[in-house]
Amino acid sequence: MMEIILSLGIGALAGSGVWLILRPRTFQVIIGLSLLSYAVNLFIIAMGGLRTGAPPILTTPAAGDPSLYADPLPQALVLTAIVISFATTALFLVVLLASRGFTGTDHVDGREPEP
Amino acid sequence: MNRMADHLIIAPVVLPLLAGAAMLLLGERRHGLKAAIGVASTSALVGIAIALLVKSDAASDSPTSAISVYRLGDWPAPFGIVLVVDRLSALMLLLTSILGAAAVVFSLAHWHRAGAHFHSLFQFLLMGINGAFLTGDLFNLFVFFELLLAASYGLALHGSGAARVKAGLHYIVVNLVASLLFLIGVSLIYGASGTLNMADLAARIPDVAAENRSLLEMGAGILGIAFLLKAGMWPLCFWLPTTYAVASPPVASIFAIMTKVGAYIVLRLWLLLFGAETGESAQFGGEWLLYGGMATVAFGAIGTLAAQDMARLAAFSVLVSSGTVLAAIGMGQVAVTEGVLFYVVSSTLGIGAFFLLIELVERGREPGANVLAVTREAYGEDDDRDEDEDQIGLAIPITMGMLGLAFIGCALMIAGLPPLSGFIAKFALLTAALNPIGTTQGGSVPAASWTLLVALILSGLAALIAMTRAGIRSFWAAPDRAMPRVAATEMVPIVALLILCVLQTIQAGPVMRFMRATAHSLHAPQDYVRAVLPPAEQQARKAGGT
């Protein structure tokens, strides 16, 4: 059940993200990128295997059965990916504003399409 | 081996990081000090790269000793992150630092004042590129890729202006999407194989369970798309010409190596993970590389013919160059790889010098002159016939003479004509492609090799026509044009890059021997695996496998 909900969630986020990236307005593109990066982050977690209530670090000094623990590596990867995508989104936002200032439009090509 | 020499491996990452960070702390107006730090750091990088190259080439007694491994935090290989230097990494480090030094010196004339933090961003870019060449871990590769991309976003916008911001916007979106694909690919590979260390991955791929194999190949394919987008393979390359053409010259010059970063990763990972001995997945996707590369060459060649100014011409030459590299990698043969390594060095130096040269040549012309010139050509109007008489006996100013010579040098390199190294590179590549067995003992030549031959020759012809046209338009123009003012710091890097090309031509024998050793170690990935993984780990794996 959890698997189905998670994959539906990833699918919905990725689908909306792709659709928004292909839209002509810069603001839609940036929202699309954010949605897509959420989908990718969830996907990374899912690739580590889904488990409820399992800690990612050993709780007792003695090494236990690895199947009782969640895989810590994807969680570390996701943290890195979140930080990086946050930084690049902020950077893109600046470029978006600069482009708006230079061209006076929020179209990705810097000019309105001919009617 | 002493301790200090070991730490030299991480210096290409740490040194630009420290230099770039230190420059951030300096005030906005201290251009002189920043320039000094930038030049010092990049020239130190050249020295470090030469040291690493000599070190990895000197150890020729056993194949594994040519590969030095730096374990961060001294964690053993599959658990910790490793940096690996072999001949290929050292070669790419040297190429990067030379191009970086040339671009920094060139920028001193005035470009480094065109916007904030040029030198810091430049150092961070070098750090990202060097890290990507050094790392032996897939996720660490992602981090270095993001570092170099983040710095390149800033540099692509350096100098500002509507055209740069517009091209930068497209560049950023395309590369952000590519980064997300990179992440998906990495996590698929992790899910299928349980490791992110490249050497460990190479050791595990033959034993991956059948039900996970398609997942692994899917991951590798998605990862490949992310790299090929950076390398500029058709049809993933439409962002490249505009971005490179509008970037400021020193930035465009260092960007010439960024497509090679993508090609380097493809070369490294493809031969490591899907080499001849990896069982079922061997040569996975090779045909895509081969035919995709050729399509890129064709697209780039048509682009060079259609380009209306020199910057676009240079940007399309970048595409031709990376298409050639990808197609030749896709052949998957040792001898072709030798030729391609030689080609990477010569074409990167040539294109880097050309990007720097363009701005000097075009400095004296009013903007839009190119479009006018080409339009005039198309409509057959010839307006300078009556000027012929007064031009006889006119002395050519020394600046124009230097620029013209440098232009001829770049044209020879890019078109691949003798006597410069571009010709030797193409010759080595094609000889190897036409002799798949390695000797001239008859045998049929595969159709792919013929196609590659035709593509390379025609792209060289296209480059020659386009360069000649551009050269005639700018050097044989009417004499009343303003003479470009060229500072010595702008001319020296171009001349230095071209002298390196000449040296590569004269010393072709030793350089080719080095490339041969590099190609052979690339095609024997088990040495890489053996060098990176500690002996105990391999024992355990062998015991588990039998």
Per-residue pLDDT tens digits for B71-113: 888 787 788 888 888 888 999 999 999 999 999 888 887 777 7
CB contact under 8 A, B143 and A91: no
Q: What is the mean pLDDT of residues B352-367?
A: 78
Interface test with A, best of B187, B195, B212 (most A CBs within 10 A): B187
**Amino acid A31: pLDDT:** 92
Cα distance from B372 to chain A (closest Cα, Å)? 24
**Amino acid B386: pLDDT:** 45
Binding-face residues of A in 11-40 toward B, CB within 8 A: 21, 26, 29, 33, 36-37, 40
Q: Is residue B421 in some structural domain?
A: yes
Provide the residue type at B529 as one letter. Answer: V
**CA B438, B444, B446, B451 torsion: positive or negative?**
positive
Cα distance from B427 to chain A (closest Cα, Å)? 42
Which range of A56-70, B277-291, B520-534 scores highest in mean pLDDT? It is B520-534
Outline where DSSP puts E strands in B102-195.
Answer: none
A10: confidence class by pLDDT, cuts 50, 70, 90: very high
**Amino acid B545: pLDDT:** 44
Residue-range definition of the domain harbouring residue B360? 285-378+397-520
pLDDT at residue B524 is higher than 60: yes
Contact predicate B126/B16, CB 8 Å: yes
From the CB of residue B390, how many other CB atoms can be counted at a distance below 10 Å? Answer: 9
**Amino acid B412: pLDDT:** 87
pLDDT at residue B270 is higher than 90: no
Q: Which residue of B has its CA nearest to A96?
A: B169
CB contact under 8 A, B176 and A88: yes
**Amino acid B59: pLDDT:** 64
Q: Is residue B297 in some structural domain?
A: yes
Q: What is the mean pLDDT of residues A1-15?
A: 91
Angle at CA of residue B18, ends B109 and B196, nearest 5°? 115
pLDDT at residue B384 is higher than 60: no
pLDDT at residue B536 is higher than 70: no
Nearest-10 crossing angle of helices B525-532, B249-273: 90
**Amino acid B65: pLDDT:** 66
Contact predicate B537/B80, CB 8 Å: no
Contact predicate A100/B163, CB 8 Å: no
pLDDT exceeding 90 applies to what percent of chain B? 15
CA distance linking residue A25 with residue B513, whole number of Å: 53
**Mean of all residue pLDDT scores within chain B:** 82
CA distance linking residue B463 with residue B477, whole number of Å: 21
**Amino acid A64: pLDDT:** 66
CB contact under 8 A, A102 and B172: no
**Amino acid A48: pLDDT:** 80
Q: Is residue B323 in some structural domain?
A: yes
**Amino acid B387: pLDDT:** 45
B280: confidence class by pLDDT, cuts 50, 70, 90: low
Buried (b) or exposed (e) across B343-356, using 16+ Cβ within 10 A?
A: bbbbbbbbbbbbbb
CA distance linking residue B192 with residue B407, whole number of Å: 51
Helix (H, G, I), strand (E, B) or coil at B71: strand
pLDDT at residue B269 is higher than 60: yes
How many domains, in total, are found in chain B?
A: 1
Provide the residue type at B368 as one letter. Answer: G
- Greatest CA separation found in chain A? 71
Q: What is the mean pLDDT of residues B209-234?
A: 86
Q: What is the mean pLDDT of residues B12-30?
A: 86
> A77: which 2 tokens?
């990867």
From the CB of residue A50, how many other CB atoms can be counted at a distance below 10 Å? Answer: 13
CA distance linking residue B68 with residue B86, whole number of Å: 7
CB contact under 8 A, B180 and A36: yes
CA distance linking residue B538 with residue B546, whole number of Å: 12
Provide the residue type at B219 as one letter. Answer: G
pLDDT of B411-442, one tens digit each?
A: 888 888 888 888 888 888 888 888 765 545 55
Q: What is the ipTM of this complex?
A: 0.91
pLDDT at residue B364 is higher than 90: no
Nearest to B157 among A26, A95, A110 (CB): A95
**Amino acid A74: pLDDT:** 86
pLDDT at residue A60 is higher than 80: no
CB contact under 8 A, A21 and B186: no
> B352: which 2 tokens?
């880097």
Cα distance from A40 to chain B (closest Cα, Å)? 6
Question: Helix %, strand %, coil % for chain A, to 5?
Answer: 65, 0, 30
pTM value is: 0.88
Q: Is residue B516 in some structural domain?
A: yes
Contact predicate B264/B200, CB 8 Å: no
> Which range (B33-42, B131-140, B255-264, B478-487) has the least confidence?
B478-487
**Amino acid A35: pLDDT:** 93
Q: What is the mean pLDDT of residues B249-278?
A: 85
CB contact under 8 A, A74 and B173: no
**Amino acid B389: pLDDT:** 46
Nearest CA-CA partner of B238 in B165, B161, B174: B174
Residue where the block lists tokens 């380097």: B264
- Comparing B215 with B6, which gets the higher pLDDT? B215
Q: Is residue B433 in some structural domain?
A: yes
Contacts of B204 (CB under 8 A, 6+ apart): B193, B194, B195
- Comparing A115 with B150, which gets the higher pLDDT? B150
**Residues in chain B closer than 8 A to A73 (CB atoms):** 190, 196
Contact predicate B533/B203, CB 8 Å: yes
Q: Is residue B506 in some structural domain?
A: yes
Q: Is residue B264 in some structural domain?
A: no
pLDDT at residue B119 is higher than 70: yes
CB contact under 8 A, A74 and B190: yes
**Amino acid B124: pLDDT:** 92
Of chain A, the end-to-end C-alpha distance in Å amounts to 49
How many CA within 13 A on the CB side of residue B106? Answer: 29
pLDDT of B146-193, one tens digit each?
A: 999 989 988 888 877 788 888 888 899 999 999 999 999 999 998 888
> B315: which 2 tokens?
């940007």
Q: Is residue B414 in some structural domain?
A: yes
How are beta strands B82-85 and B68-71 bridged, if at all? antiparallel
Q: What is the mean pLDDT of residues A17-26?
A: 91
CA distance linking residue A77 with residue B137, whole number of Å: 12
**Amino acid B388: pLDDT:** 46
- Comparing B178 with B540, which gets the higher pLDDT? B178
